[in-house]
Chains A and B, each alone.
Chain A
Amino acid sequence: MKRTRTIWVILFGIPALLILPLAVLGSRVYTSGTIDVEVMERNGCEFGLHVPATLVTAALHFIPECTIDGVRVEMDPEARQALRIAAAVAEELEGCPDGILVDVQDATEIVTIEKKDGKIHVFVDSPDETVRCSVPIRTVRRAVERIAAI
């Protein structure tokens, strides 16, 4: 009986302990979304980047404080103000319904900024290239708050 229990623990318990943190991490990565950047140039060059947003926010925690001779250097007041504004904009946009925020078109160029499914989507179509970029708004807010706290 005791041996049977030991076998059950080895067969299912240990894998569960290994899989559970991975499942939690995967779930967090999935819910945080991805940062996507695609650039297609007219000369045929294409560039694509797809980064889990969790990776970006985690990396921000490794940014060291800026110090000179051990004394913490304060951020420029204008930069700090800009970050506060960016954080407030991101927080407000998180609560907004989906929709197009900016749409500019002329004879040669189209620029669209849209909020959809918790992300800010930027689309630029010009004679030289087409750019698509989407960032989870929550990631923007966390990144800005983290940078402001440095």
Chain B
Amino acid sequence: MVRAAILSIGLLFLVGDATAGSDRRWIHVTVDGEDGERVRVNVPLSLIETVLPLIEDDDFRHGKIRLDDTDLDRDEVLAMLRAVDQAEDGEYVTVDDGDEHVRVAKQGKMLTVKVEDLSEGGKEHVDIQVPVAVLHALVSGDEDELDVVAAIEALGKHSDGDLVTVNDDDGTVVRIWIDDANASN
């Protein structure tokens, strides 16, 4: 009986250790240039969450961006986000002006923005995927503030996946994604 109890407690600690490791989320940035340039950055989200509140500037304090001098209306942004959250999946904005194709859509819990360069010889292609929950967290602060720390925390709770992919005209590929691994592939 005692032995079984000790074994159970030991197993609990092991499981606890295993899950503790998986709580750390990482954001990865890779840039691969056509001429062999290569950049790899791997940062734990917890580091960003810890550091951002320590940065103090005129427009950035305690992890929040002040919007006093911008044209961005927080109420309009909130209303737009609420509408996006409640709406069904689908394309919201499609722009085709001959040189560029822009598509803004909602797929599941993600807001996706795709920009494609259609000009002759144009190769630029941008894919952005942002969880709607992250956008909500961004505007969850006081009026005229964007809560970046809350957005980062919301990002950490999101499942693994690409956030930004950019294929530039000169062959440069930029990719930003989040997962549990401490290294980029």
Residues of A within 8 A of B (CB): 81, 84-85, 88-89, 91-93, 96-107
Contacts and interface: CB of A to CB of B under 8 A. Distances in A.
A93 B36 CA distance: 30
B52 to A, nearest CB: 10
Given A98-B182, A104-B39, 16 more contacts: A81-B54, A85-B54, A88-B51, A88-B54, A89-B47, A89-B50, A93-B47, A97-B24, A97-B182, A102-B42, A103-B40, A104-B38, A105-B36, A105-B38, A106-B36, A107-B35
B21 interface: yes
Contacts of B39: 103-105
Nearest to B183: A99
B44 A96 contact: yes
Q: What does DSSP make chain A's interface, helix, strand, loop or mixed?
A: mixed
Contacts of B51: 85, 88-89, 92
A102 B40 contact: yes
Contact of A99 (B21, B35, B42, B50): B42
B54 A84 contact: yes
A81 B35 CA distance: 39
Nearest to B44: A96
Given A89-B47, A106-B36, A96 B54 contact: no
Contacts of B50: 88-89, 91-92
B54 A107 contact: no
B43 interface: yes
Interface of B: 21, 24, 33, 35-44, 46-47, 50-51, 54-56, 182-183
B38 A103 contact: yes
- Which 7 pairs from chain A and chain B are nearest by CB? A99-B182, A103-B40, A92-B47, A105-B38, A106-B37, A97-B182, A85-B54
A103 B38 CA distance: 8
B183 to A, nearest CB: 5
Contact of A100 (B38, B42, B44, B46): B42
A25 B51 CA distance: 34
A129 to B, nearest CB: 21
Contact of A92 (B33, B46, B55): B46
Contacts of A97: 21, 24, 182
B29 to A, nearest CB: 10
A104 B47 CA distance: 20
A106 B115 CA distance: 28
Nearest to A98: B182
Contacts of B24: 96-97
Contacts of B43: 101
7 contacts: A91-B50, A92-B47, A92-B50, A97-B21, A102-B41, A105-B38, A107-B37
Q: Which of B36, B46, B182 has the most CB of A within 10 A?
A: B182
A56 to B, nearest CB: 24
